[in-house]
Amino acid sequence: MMRMSRYILVGIIFGITMYKSEAVSWFRIFEMFHFQSFHMY
């Protein structure tokens, strides 16, 4: 159980990081594929 909780904690931290960097925003992904914004690159 301890091993699984470690992976869950890493996943939560990774998710928060992706959210804060706006990498999960559909608008940012849309801009990236249309070469309108270089935020994701």
State residue 16's pLDDT score: 92
DSSP string, 1-36: -HHHHHHHHHHHHHHHHHHHTTTT-HHHHHHHHTTS
- How far is it, in rounded angstroms, from Cα 41 to Cα 39? 6
pLDDT in tens, 10-38: 999 999 998 888 777 778 778 888 888 77
Distances (CA, A) of 29 to 3, 7, 9, 13: 33, 27, 26, 21
Predicted TM-score (pTM) of the model is 0.59
